[in-house]
Amino acid sequence: MEPVNTGVADAGKRDADAPAGDASAEDTTDAPTLGQLLLAVEELWPESLAEDWDEVGLVAGHPSAPVSRVMFAVDPTLEVIEEAVEWGAELLITHHPLLLRGVTSVAATTAKGKAIHRLIETGTALLTVHTNGDSAVGGVSDVLADALGLEDVAPLTSAANGLPEEGIGRVGVLADVMSLGDFAARVFGILPSVAGGVRVSGDKDGLVRRVAVCGGAGDSLFSQVRASNADVYVTADLRHHPASEAREAAVNDRPYLIDVSHFASEWLWLPAAASALGNVLADQGHDVEIQVSTTNSDPWDFILTPGGD
């Protein structure tokens, strides 16, 4: 796969081009411990916002270890871990959990076991920010909504332990009415390139203004989407039966559906998350380099489609 263009590099890093004698270039910062960095992460994406079924937080790593380099990625795949190790990251923050379900062994005879061994052997900590990163202000769906130009944004479903503006999914309005075809082109244009592209269900010339979004798999939110009176719903991993049933239940043919790559919809959050964490750490007087992984961990490599417009 082609690497992803991250659009962010070394968030929070000092200006390497500043003159050595310039007071602004003096090193008045220091690298935090992993424990201190976890506190900064908690400030941005509290674990209390995670869904009950989710597993977030520290997966591997010693809280007393110093951290001077952090990498963000969607998935803790072996390729991503190798990229982090090669760059020298002491901490890898991924959106998706490595160990979402219980295991009885982490022997290096499985992919997950190899990942755990590689992390520990190289001294690379792993931290998961999953549904807490979805729900928080500035989280996955907020970034997706902002990239699409939505205004007056509110959660599709409120967080049980959060602020009124926190929760899973978002709904908002476009500045101007658009055709479904033009809006789908906007969706396609903001996402990193992946094999699956963008699938659309609805009248290409139909008009849309109220938009619901959910980064990642969102077919569990159809009731909330209908209640929001959205004209179109943008999410990922739409399965045949839920999508078909949603179209059957549509009122005046709405909501239309736009199905995107799970990886692509959540990747958009990474540069924003890197920048946010860099700002918090800099405010606390810590010197940390932060990068976004360039590894495209979308699982699909190519797609065949019928001809025609």
* Separation of alpha carbons 205 and 183, rounded Å: 10
How far is CA 161 from each of CA 136, 137, 167, 249, rounded to the nearest angstrom? 11, 13, 9, 31
The confidence band for 24, taking pLDDT boundaries of 50, 70 and 90, is very low
**235: phi then psi, degrees, rounded to nearest 5:** -160, -170
How far is CA 256 from each of CA 32, 177, 211, 217, rounded to the nearest angstrom? 47, 14, 10, 16
Mapping DSSP onto H, E and C, the string for 70-100 reads EEEECCCCHHHHHHHHHHCCCEEEECCCCCC
* pLDDT at residue number 33: 97
Task: Report, as an integer, the average pLDDT of 176-182.
Answer: 98
Task: Report, as an integer, the average pLDDT of 287-308.
Answer: 92
The confidence band for 18, taking pLDDT boundaries of 50, 70 and 90, is very low
* Separation of alpha carbons 128 and 76, rounded Å: 9
- Structure confidence by residue, pLDDT tens digits, 196-250: 999 999 999 999 999 999 999 999 999 999 999 999 999 999 999 999 999 999 9
* Separation of alpha carbons 100 and 59, rounded Å: 10
Task: Report, as an integer, the average pLDDT of 3-19.
Answer: 51
Give the pairing of strands 57-60 and 125-128. Answer: antiparallel
